[in-house]
């Protein structure tokens, strides 16, 4: 096993958990210039969620971007609308994979399913 400093471990934990402050400090992930996009903040944030779905992004990405969208004035219904809008282009599997991550990012509990277990 490789020796890892506490700082490195904390940084990796923060990135894995989608902690905005850690992401910004460690990886330098800054918002693309909103003004240059020509979009309002709400639309800009929703487009980013659409990109996450299309890329089959990891859970931490949703944990970071969904709250950003809500802070910009998007509603949970808007986020659900994004799922519906991109489904024909990205396919059902990506939408199905994204839905529970979006639920968790919205603070919802995942449904309990009985699939013959």
Instruction: Supply the range of the domain harboring residue 21.
Output: 1-30
Query: Is 0.75 surpassed by the pTM of this model?
Result: no
Q: How many domains does the chain have?
A: 2
> Alpha-carbon distance 75 to 84, whole Å?
14
- Asked if residue 48 is part of any domain, the answer here is yes
Does the residue 117 lie in any domain? no
* Mean pLDDT for all residues in the chain: 85
pLDDT tens column, 24-50: 665 555 555 677 778 899 999 999 999
Q: Do residues 11 and 26 touch, judged by C-beta distance below 8 A?
A: yes
**Are 48 and 79 contained in the same domain?**
yes
Residues 24 and 68 both lie in one domain: no
Please report whether residue 115 resides in a domain. no
The conformation of residue 110, written as its DSSP 8-state character, comes to P
> Residue 74 falls within a domain, yes or no?
yes
Q: Say yes or no: 56 and 15 in one domain.
A: no
Q: Compute the average pLDDT of residues 60-85.
A: 93
């Amino acid at each position: 096993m490789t020796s890892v400093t506490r700082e490195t471990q904390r940084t990796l934990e923060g990135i894995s958990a989608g902690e905005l402050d850690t992401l910004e400090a460690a990886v330098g992930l800054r918002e693309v210039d909103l003004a240059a996009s020509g979009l309002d903040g709400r639309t800009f944030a929703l487009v980013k969620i659409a990109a996450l779905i299309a890329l089959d992004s990891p859970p931490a990405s949703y944990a970071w971007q969904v709250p950003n969208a809500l802070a910009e004035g998007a509603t949970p219904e808007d986020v659900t609308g994004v799922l519906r809008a991109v489904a024909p282009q990205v396919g059902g599997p990506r939408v199905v994979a994204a839905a529970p991550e979006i639920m968790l990012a919205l603070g919802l509990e995942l449904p309990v399913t009985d699939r013959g277990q």
